Amino acid sequence: MDHTLSEWIQLAGSGSLAQAAQRVQAETYGQAEEHVRDTMTRMWHEMTASARSGLDEGLRSVSGLTGGQAALLRRRLEAGASLAGPVLGRAEMYALATAECNACMGRIVAAPTAGACGILPGVLLAMTEGKERTEAQAVDGLFAAAAVGEAIASQSSISGAEGGCQAECGAAAAMAAAALCEMEGADAATCVHAAAFALMNLMGLVCDPVGGLVEVPCVYRNVGAVGIAFTAADMALAGIRCPVEPDEVILAMKEVGDALPSSLRETGEGGCAACPSVRARLKKQGL
């Protein structure tokens, strides 16, 4: 059974979006809520581990295009030089670290996909480390994120090949925005409107991986998307409501995805993928 965003708000009732997601998952698979929560906690631990391992300076991908760059962001953050500050700066660092861990064949949690796997760990770790939120709050954030992800996947798509990067990094930013609101104790409607803002602000983003590889621009887009998630959450938490009905934003995103030419849907033929400078670098590697 799939749910729209407005159905998730109804399911939450006077409770939180995370509680609703945990309950529905348990009911659907005939499992105890405790078991479902343990599984989500394990996902959180896995995310934390991949984010940390991606900080390794010596990391390199098979193509040599990415790896080891999150370590550079770390240096700036530790020097107190991050323009974004200690919270968002940390989100940038962990998003890049996780995305680079993925590019280098490390172990990650697809959230919702491998290509967009840095965004949720980025924002959640920024909250636990930078704002002293608890593990239990992070796990609640993941449940809220999963509910939003389901509404997007079932009404549109979470595949770059089908819907462009808006369906991957856009969906992940929407999920992360909802997670942030959940962690701040907001109600389900606030989470949903934050998700709608994030999706709206990344609408139209194309999927143009250089050489067809999940590296350029993917790893940098994970960093950009955490900024979108924070700004979307701040708007919703301030009480601003998305003027477009949130489920309609998802449907609009699907329409935009359908209208994208095939060259901008993960074929590695258009956008950044068509730029001669990076193509030449890949050719040298025999890729």
Partner 1 sequence: MDLFDLIGPVMVGPSSSHTAGAARIGQTARLLLGEEVVAADVGLHGSFAKTYHGHGTDRAIAAGLMGMAVDDTRMRHSLELAEERGIRIAFHPTQIRDAHPNTVRLSLYGEDGRTLTMEAASVGGGSIRVTKLDGMNVGFSGKENTLIIHHRDTPGEIAHVTGLLAEENMNIGAMQVYRRGTGGDALMVIELDGKPSAKVIAAIERTEGVSDVSFLERRDG
Binding stretches for partner 1 (CB under 8 A): 1-2, 21, 24-25, 28-29, 39-40, 42-43, 46, 61-63, 101-115, 117, 120, 142-143, 145-147, 149-150, 153-154, 158-159, 161-162, 175, 211-215, 266-268, 287
What value does the CA radius of gyration of the chain take, rounded to a whole number of Å? 18
**Neighbouring residues of 14: CB distance < 8 A, sequence distance ≥ 6:** none
Measured from the CB atom, the residue of 155 and 231 that comes closer to partner 1 is 155
The CA distance from 50 to 104, in Å, is 11
Measured from the CB atom, the residue of 63 and 82 that comes closer to partner 1 is 63
**Residue 171 Cβ vs partner 1, minimum distance, rounded to whole Å:** 9
**Residue 212 Cβ vs partner 1, minimum distance, rounded to whole Å:** 4
**Residue 84 Cβ vs partner 1, minimum distance, rounded to whole Å:** 25
Burial class (CB in 10 A: 0-12, 13-18, 19+), 6: middle
- Give me 235's structure tokens: 């708007």
Minimal CA–CA distance to 198: which of 236, 160, 163? 236
**Residue 285 Cβ vs partner 1, minimum distance, rounded to whole Å:** 9
Residues 180, 233 contacting (CB under 8 angstroms): yes
Measured from the CB atom, the residue of 28 and 134 that comes closer to partner 1 is 28
Beta bridge partners of 216: none
Measured from the CB atom, the residue of 92 and 215 that comes closer to partner 1 is 215
Q: How open is the CA angle 218-137-195, to the nearest 5 degrees?
A: 45
**Residue 78 Cβ vs partner 1, minimum distance, rounded to whole Å:** 26
Q: What does residue 198 show for φ and ψ, rounded to 5 degrees? A: -65, -45
The CA distance from 206 to 185, in Å, is 33
**Residue 151 Cβ vs partner 1, minimum distance, rounded to whole Å:** 9
Measured from the CB atom, the residue of 142 and 228 that comes closer to partner 1 is 142
Helix 33-53 × helix 135-155 angle, to 10°: 100
**Residue 105 Cβ vs partner 1, minimum distance, rounded to whole Å:** 5
Measured from the CB atom, the residue of 77 and 148 that comes closer to partner 1 is 148
The CA distance from 284 to 130, in Å, is 41
Measured from the CB atom, the residue of 16 and 82 that comes closer to partner 1 is 16
**Residue 104 Cβ vs partner 1, minimum distance, rounded to whole Å:** 7
The CA distance from 186 to 181, in Å, is 5
**How many Cα neighbours within 13 Å face the side chain of 139?**
17
Measured from the CB atom, the residue of 77 and 101 that comes closer to partner 1 is 101
The CA distance from 216 to 222, in Å, is 11
